[in-house]
Structure 1
Amino acid sequence: MRTTENNRDDDSRPKRGSPILESILENARNRRHLGQRLAAVDTRLDTDVLLDIVRHGPLLETLLEQPLDHREIEERLGVSRATSHRFTQRLDELGFITKINSRFQLTGLGETVAEEVLRFETNVQTANRLSPLLDCICEDLREFVIESFVDATVTVAAPEEPYRPIERFISLVENSDSFRGFNTTHMAPIVLGEFHRQIFDETETEMVYLPHVAEKLFEAYPEHASEAIESGHLTLRTRDELPYGLALFDDHVGIGGYDESTGQMQVFVDTESPVAREWAERVYASVRADSEPIVEQIDSLH
């Protein structure tokens, strides 16, 4: 499969992103090799130390806000005096805190570790929320910017509500003046005529489909689709391979995951995150650059 996240600075490829996005992407590219890098310099932490760091995460987070004495730690964390003393003793042994005027405050090392523990928890929690999506598309998202989907809306199909993801997707299209995307199947079921009339007539639309998916669209709406393309209201392109479903609206970006056997959308995740938008624009530009405009179907109707 061709990559969707090339990083070439020419006219047809996405330019380098913001420093924030580039840093996140670099971390994503390298994270699977971090173990090898750590082993090379022989600096792997003892598992018990890692467990201690995670176990003391709530206290590290609390001390990020301000220095506290034992009584305040006990009140904030809801722990006993003995537990408070045990916690502070261990963090002191690790070099994460120091005691000044009866109050415990983080050292420079402690601040860094506290922030990393928070980031770890955030990413794990986000991954748990996105698990229905990740299970569908994880193979194709080695550079997925999970940090930008912390506050994402996750809509999952359920036995009693199998169309929840597609309904969420359609609601975003209806509230957007423009829509761009690519997908391995139709963005919405081909039988939803009202939706397709909207993207033909009301929403400035550009879509990249697999060739056979585009053909089915023309079979279902031959004149309407051709008129929309000729008027410039709809841009339809094809690509032989696509990794998953990506949608860019005016204010949101979304990713869809599908059941391979039925082709039905199982999960749709969307967010207004600026970093997610930048990532999605980058991916879409790369996919679009490797696609071809639809012309044969239009010519056959004349």
Structure 2
Amino acid sequence: MDTPLEDIRFLADSENRFVALESLASGPCTRSELRSATESSKATISRLLGDFERQGWVAKEGNRYALTPLGDYVATIFVDLYDHMKTAHELRDLLPWFPLGELDREFDLEILADASVTAATPENPMAPVARVLEIERESTWTYTLANRFPKACIEARYEAMVEGNQTCELVLTPSALESAMTSPNANKFEEIVAADQSSVYLYDGDIGPGGIYDGTAYLIVANEEDVNVGLIESDDPALIERLETTFNQYREASTQLTVSSLEADAESIQAET
């Protein structure tokens, strides 16, 4: 291997080499531990360690193998690259609908390098929705921006806030409010609004769905048909700060809902229909 590209190809062409390098980055390993991590044969591990030694990346310490300073440098760079590429792979199908405009025109995707992505798949098209309901039901506190508030979300919030101890600040669009008011769970929605630990607001305009729960930011990604295709979660401080700023801007431009205002809105909706 005479060039840097050949070194990269050497690592990228074998999952075993990458897994072994990642394992060694966590600390010295025996051959048996590397075999277990890579699920490889003795012969494969022998070849792999021989290659690593010739590269100057590992050295034997008793019955264990440890990264050299050069090996540690390579592992740090390559594992970081892998993590970035993994995120890029997961985001690839979501970015066409990613709400960049809601955050910043100069949004830096580096913020999402360590994000957790839940994407809809042919095998599990409802995965993002299921994850959102988990957040709504299980969080201790949330700041939420919602352009939809269907029956399942009302049930999750009711369970968390009215029957549980979750605190929540929720900003809804008019369409989200109308869907809640005309839902079979409209009474439960009224109890959510009336709950001591909730503050529900109405923003007269469009908003990108998402928010912050228990110190983690989340963004809901919908396609052009308004179908949820993914959920992105991250505890990156920069993203949390941006979402806090965005949430505060919407909240300050909103009107807080009360049970009395809901009753007036209900009468208005009934009159229109």
Q: Deviations over 1:9-62 (max 9, x none)?
A: xxxxxxxxxxxxxxxxxxxxxxxxxxxxxxxxxxxx732222124344344335
Cα distance between partner residues in 1 of 2:61 and 2:152: 67
Aligned to 2:249: 290
Aligned to 2:69: 108
Cα distance between partner residues in 2 of 1:63 and 1:230: 52
Which letter does structure 2 place at the counterpart of 1:267? G
Checking the alignment, whether the CA contact within 8 Å between 1:133 and 1:267 is kept in structure 2 is yes
Checking the alignment, whether the CA contact within 8 Å between 1:214 and 1:238 is kept in structure 2 is no
CA RMSD of aligned residues (A): 4.9
Aligned to 2:4: 46
Cα distance between partner residues in 1 of 2:29 and 2:180: 66
Select the structure with the greater relative contact order (CA < 8 A; seq sep ≥ 6).
Answer: 1
Aligned to 1:145: 112
- Displacement of 1:110 in angstroms is 0.7
Q: Indicate how the Cα distance of structure 1 residues 52 and 296 shifts in structure 2: closer, same or farther if over 3 A, else same.
A: closer
Paired residue secondary structure (1:266): strand
- Displacement of 1:163 in angstroms is 4.6
Cα distance between partner residues in 2 of 1:260 and 1:199: 31
Cα distance between partner residues in 2 of 1:249 and 1:178: 6
Checking the alignment, whether the CA contact within 8 Å between 1:236 and 1:294 is kept in structure 2 is yes
Q: Indicate how the Cα distance of structure 1 residues 252 and 279 shifts in structure 2: closer, same or farther if over 3 A, else same.
A: same
Cα distance between partner residues in 1 of 2:168 and 2:34: 55
TM-score (norm 2): 0.60
Which letter does structure 2 place at the counterpart of 1:233? S
Q: Percentage identity across aligned positions?
A: 13
TM-score (norm 1): 0.55
Indicate yes or no: 2:209 matched with 1:248.
no
Aligned to 1:120: 81
Cα distance between partner residues in 2 of 1:225 and 1:60: 55
Indicate yes or no: 2:199 matched with 1:234.
yes
Q: Which runs of 5+ in 1 are unaligned?
A: 1-44
Q: Indicate how the Cα distance of structure 1 residues 281 and 269 shifts in structure 2: closer, same or farther if over 3 A, else same.
A: closer
Q: What are the residue-to-residue correspondences of 1:1-302 with 2, within 5 Å?
A: 46-54=4-12, 55=14, 56-64=17-25, 65-66=27-28, 77-78=40-41, 80=43, 84=46, 87-88=48-49, 90-98=51-59, 105-129=66-90, 133-134=94-95, 136-137=97-98, 142-143=108-109, 144-149=111-116, 154=118, 156=120, 158=122, 163-176=126-139, 178-183=141-146, 185-186=147-148, 188-189=149-150, 194-195=154-155, 198=158, 202=162, 204-209=167-172, 212-213=174-175, 216=178, 220=182, 228=193, 233-236=198-201, 238=203, 242=207, 244-250=208-214, 254-261=218-225, 263-269=226-232, 276=235, 278=237, 281-291=240-250, 292-295=252-255, 298=261, 301=264
